[in-house]
Structure 1
Amino acid sequence: MDAIFIPVASMVGASLDQVKLISCLLISYPLGSLFIRIPSSQPGLKHIFNLTVTLVYLLPVLNMYSALLQLLGSVIGTYMIAANVRGPRMPWIVFVFLMGHLLVNHIIRAIYHPGYDFGITAPQMVLTMKLSTFAWNVWDGRRPVADLDKWQSEKRVTKYPSLLEFLGFSFYFPGFLVGPYLEYSTYMSLIDESIYKSTGAHQNITSTKSGRNVPDGRKRVAYRKMAFGLAWLGVFVVLGGSYNFAVALQPWFATRSLLYRIAYFHICGVVERSKYYALWILTEGAGDMSGLGFTGYSPTGQSLWQGATNVNVLMIEFAPNFKVLLDSWNTKTNVWLRECVYKRVTPKGKKPGFRSSMTTFVTSAVWHGIAGGYYLTFLLGGFMSSISRLSRANIRPLLLPPPGAPPSKLKRAYDIAGIIITVICMDYIAAPFMLLSVRNSLAAWRALDWYGLWIIFGGLAFFYAGFPSDGGRDGEEAIAFASSSACWCYAINWHSVSDTRRCGD
């Protein structure tokens, strides 16, 4: 099918793999509309539909024949392990099996296929989250309910799926290529349409004009997301060649004033991120079209479709601090790291500590790949996380007005400064993740006069050289930064001049 996509790639100036990927996401919209029309009384047909569409994407469109065999191996391997290993080590066996396979492919890709735009590691990263979560959900289904927290109770699997059900879940087409992943219980609620049984005030508004149980408003939301996704894609296609983090490596860049370089670099950051906004918003809309994203009704009775949301653009580009930024990007990966790593390595009855945080950091790093730039981003982002937390804990309370009083000028100035510092540090910390090599990353930082290091380590010196602070690093914030690194997960999988990812607070 390359003959169909090559002229399009030449016309828009994009790579063949990029055109194929976007085409798959767009085709998922009408296919999602077909999927949701399959009656809930025919669950097997729904599973087969998912499997068939994904196979079409992988084989005739993306030509990923050997990759399919590997992905299928991960799926069948997980299915067999989770079914036959009954003890508490089962989820960890699945986890090591999946992460080990992923790491091997990261290494092979980095050594032998560094120039490919889209390869096995992109869908494999999504599948690793999905299958390892399934293993934990199965284990939770074998444990007493009293031992589970709210998320574990809601997602637990008490009835082991048939092979067809599991294949349909694993190859659910709207989110297979770039995510977001979904839990097995969520998938099955989509299949039997129990996902539409709202508990809100308007729970009786669940019958559409067609007589099905799918709430109205799905297409409105999905097509709006498609329009936003295509708009962001247009930003990247038009500006991506000129505005990218690699500009810091060009001789002319260092000759401009520092303020100009910081402003220009931030524009590059917005353009870099636009590709990820496009990918995730498009796949969110495709998920909504298939019926996945329903989350209830507003007070006015309008249906809400936020269940597939994976990114909040405004809260990233205007984040008042890194904590908000982290919570707004790649939220599903955040959930995976928190629920399937951070909490699971913490002994029962104990508070998460250093071991939990470091295990999560290592997991996030291995999940991403082996490029040195990733680890520069993780390291510097960890320091930035600490600075932000210390600032919120020690400076912000001094500026808060009395209850009922309007914010003071100092508080408004603090908020504005928080946004500015967050966004320029986000660009600085993200650059190594896009440039990949340590040499290019350090060269880019040097071209920016190391401003990010001055801000971060100057802040550390300020707090630890005498300013009263609560010290330490909160465990939940540690996991937040580790999960934030996931926002750059496709840097190694869909990499042109440079790629973006979000940094953490």
Structure 2
Amino acid sequence: MNTLVSSLANAFGGSNRLKIIWCLLIAYPVGNLFTRLPSSQPNLKHAFNISTSVVVLIPVLNLQWGFLQLLFDALGTYVIAANFRGSSMPWVVFIFVMSHLTINHVIREAWLSRDTLEISSAQMILAMKLTTFAWNVYDGQRPEEDLDEWQFQKRITKYPTLLAFLGYSFYFPSILYGPNLDYVAYTSLINGTLFNSVEPTEPMQRATPDGRKRAACRKMLEGLVFLSLFTVLSPSYNYTITLTPWFARQSLLYRIAVFQFYGFVERFKFYAIWTLTEGANILTGLGFSGFGPSGESLWEGAMNVKPLEIELPSNFKAVLGSWNINTNIWLREYAYKRVTPKGGKPGFRSTLITCFTSALWHGVAIGYFLVFIPGGLVTYLSRKSRASIRPLVMPPAGAPSTWVKRTYDFLGTVISILLLNFVTAPFRLLTLANTMEAWSRLGWYGCWIVGFGVTFFNTGGPEYLQSLQEKQANIINVKQPRTPSIDLVAALGPAVEEL
């Protein structure tokens, strides 16, 4: 099998790239086969997931040692979560899993080339699954009144068998590039409760809603389009072009403008991978999220990216909510909220810790930290702006949008795109020297925007904006006609009846 795939890969100019694409596409027919396994035999489905992932990792990708490392992480987590009690258990699992992942990141950075096919990508997905599992087990041991709605829905009250846990860990459509899923969602897929609103069509088999194959094929086609665009455009349009002498000779405004297109093309690769994996998940049924107003089935449960919202965002929050969605949920629920003291409110400290965790999860190259630490500052400024500036431009309830509000929205979109491309460039450039060179050729525009924002919001800016909001509220109250109070109407009631 490996010989056949390698021979085809040589004709397409890269064995590893073709192997990955082949694995993503073969998950489609295999996913359709998975739905034909009866829900009355969950162990068969668990074994199917494990065996399919083993075939992908060992005969196809030649990652025998990598598979053993994934198995080591899974078994270690299973033992720790079963035997530790108390709030320290999830942190023990987190340290265990992330330490092993970091070691592999160091090995990749120090001794392997960027084209080497190794296990760290699959290990990153598994790290999310295992830490999610640990927190869900811990939440299952806590009093219900201490849990928020998310924690209550995802908690695990009955510890799974080893086969069920390994089936979850090696769920084949997400083994390479995700998306992350929790154990409750996995078991609802296995036992068919995810489709409780659908009537079974065959004995001993849970029916899946109509539209599953159409939704999966649509995602596959979208992924292939993104992949084609990336393959054609990325050699000439990518972040590394900023380091060339040609780029340095252009005017500053042209450099900033064409740099936005580089970021646009760079994201095609991620759109391709995530939409292809989403389609494979949909074919197994995991993406089912209910029915629409017209009775059509919805398949948004495995969505990991919303390209349109990223390329035309209303603000930076919209970007974060549409990019690598399930990873951001993992960071929010199992990092951001968990480092916040009980009864406290997440703040800037929680944001920085979460961004550091995200950077370390991606790798140890300085470029990852140059993405996520400044990204934390941009997130902080986005929240401050939305809370302090947006109320000043919002029209009264029920009133049409004003030119001020439309201008604010337009500027929000432009600034969000500018900052998105600026702070994500190190993700491709990786080194400090390359990043500094690229940013300097862009006039440090992102640093100027962030620096001004941080200075403004920490030197009296919020107080000034608050005073403007109060003045605006007073003007609106003066302009509004007075109406009788409820008590006055009640007092006049008898007189009105007599008249």
Residue 305 of structure 1 deviates from its aligned partner by: 0.8
Residue 223 of structure 1 deviates from its aligned partner by: 0.4
Residue 231 of structure 1 deviates from its aligned partner by: 0.4
CA contact (8 A) 2:80 2:93 kept: yes
TM-score, with length taken from structure 2: 0.89
Q: Distance in 2 between matches of 1:351 and 1:169?
A: 33
- 2:416 — aligned with what? 422
Residue 453 of structure 1 deviates from its aligned partner by: 1.9
C-alpha distance after superposition, 1:266-318 (max 9, x if no partner): 11111110000000010011000001011111111111111101111111000
Q: Distance in 2 between matches of 1:291 and 1:320?
A: 32
- 1:289 — aligned with what? 283
- 2:358 — aligned with what? 364
Q: Secondary structure at the match of 2:290?
A: strand
Q: Distance in 2 between matches of 1:304 and 1:357?
A: 33
- 1:9 — aligned with what? 9
CA contact (8 A) 2:195 2:206 kept: no
Q: Distance in 1 between matches of 2:423 and 2:401?
A: 31
- 1:302 — aligned with what? 296
Q: Distance in 1 between matches of 2:2 and 2:254?
A: 43
Give yes or no for the alignment of 1:439 onto 2:430. Answer: no
Residue 466 of structure 1 deviates from its aligned partner by: 5.3
Change (3 A) 1:93 1:461: closer
* Larger-gyration structure (1/2): 2
- Any gaps of 5 or more consecutive residues in structure 1? 198-202, 472-505
- Any gaps of 5 or more consecutive residues in structure 2? 466-499
Residue 470 of structure 1 deviates from its aligned partner by: 8.2
- 1:399 — aligned with what? 393
The letter for the 1-side match of 2:336 is Y
The letter for the 2-side match of 1:315 is E
CA contact (8 A) 2:367 2:428 kept: yes
Residue 394 of structure 1 deviates from its aligned partner by: 2.8
C-alpha distance after superposition, 1:70-128 (max 9, x if no partner): 11000111111111223332211111110111111111111111323542110101101
Which of 424, 442, 467 matches 1:448?
442
> How do residues 250-329 of structure 1 correspond to structure 2 at under 5 angstroms?
250-329=244-323
C-alpha distance after superposition, 1:246-283 (max 9, x if no partner): 00000011211223212211111111100000000100
Residue 384 of structure 1 deviates from its aligned partner by: 2.2
- 2:71 — aligned with what? 72
Residue 207 of structure 1 deviates from its aligned partner by: 4.1
Q: Distance in 2 between matches of 1:463 and 1:367?
A: 30
Residue 355 of structure 1 deviates from its aligned partner by: 4.7
> How do residues 462-477 of structure 1 correspond to structure 2 at under 5 angstroms?
462-464=456-458, 467-469=461-463
- 2:160 — aligned with what? 161
Q: Distance in 1 between matches of 2:177 and 2:385?
A: 35
The letter for the 2-side match of 1:93 is V
C-alpha distance after superposition, 1:302-335 (max 9, x if no partner): 1111110111111100011111100101111111
- 1:83 — aligned with what? 82
Residue 464 of structure 1 deviates from its aligned partner by: 4.6
Structure with the larger helix share:
2
* Larger RCO (CA under 8 A, 6+ residues apart): 1
Aligned-residue Cα RMSD (Å) equals 1.9
CA contact (8 A) 1:38 1:45 kept: yes
- 1:230 — aligned with what? 224
- 1:105 — aligned with what? 104
- 1:133 — aligned with what? 132
- 1:33 — aligned with what? 32
Q: Secondary structure at the match of 1:169?
A: helix
The letter for the 2-side match of 1:398 is L
The letter for the 1-side match of 2:329 is V
Change (3 A) 1:147 1:467: closer
Residue 383 of structure 1 deviates from its aligned partner by: 2.7
CA contact (8 A) 1:313 1:328 kept: yes
The letter for the 2-side match of 1:216 is D
- 2:330 — aligned with what? 336
TM-score, with length taken from structure 1: 0.88
> How do residues 123-202 of structure 1 correspond to structure 2 at under 5 angstroms?
123-197=122-196
CA contact (8 A) 2:101 2:120 kept: yes
Change (3 A) 1:354 1:425: closer
Q: Distance in 1 between matches of 2:350 and 2:356?
A: 10
Residue 241 of structure 1 deviates from its aligned partner by: 0.9
Q: Distance in 2 between matches of 1:401 and 1:16?
A: 57
Q: Secondary structure at the match of 1:60?
A: helix
Q: Secondary structure at the match of 1:282?
A: helix
How many corresponding residue pairs?
464
Percent of aligned pairs sharing the same letter: 53
Change (3 A) 1:469 1:32: farther
Give yes or no for the alignment of 1:23 onto 2:26. Answer: no
Q: Distance in 1 between matches of 2:86 and 2:381?
A: 42
CA contact (8 A) 1:207 1:215 kept: no
The letter for the 2-side match of 1:222 is A
Q: Secondary structure at the match of 1:403?
A: coil
Residue 459 of structure 1 deviates from its aligned partner by: 3.5
Q: Distance in 2 between matches of 1:414 and 1:139?
A: 44
C-alpha distance after superposition, 1:352-389 (max 9, x if no partner): 34553343233222212211112222232233223323
- 1:477 — aligned with what? none
C-alpha distance after superposition, 1:111-147 (max 9, x if no partner): 1113235421101011011011111111122222222
Q: Distance in 1 between matches of 2:173 and 2:137?
A: 24
Which of 235, 242, 264 matches 1:241?
235
Residue 155 of structure 1 deviates from its aligned partner by: 1.2
Q: Distance in 2 between matches of 1:322 and 1:393?
A: 13
Residue 454 of structure 1 deviates from its aligned partner by: 2.3
The letter for the 1-side match of 2:390 is R
> How do residues 461-500 of structure 1 correspond to structure 2 at under 5 angstroms?
461-464=455-458, 467-469=461-463
The letter for the 1-side match of 2:137 is V
Residue 349 of structure 1 deviates from its aligned partner by: 2.2
Q: Distance in 2 between matches of 1:461 and 1:152?
A: 37
Q: Which region of structure 1 is more displaced relative to structure 2, 422-431 or 241-250?
A: 422-431
Q: Which region of structure 1 is more displaced relative to structure 2, 422-431 or 206-215?
A: 206-215
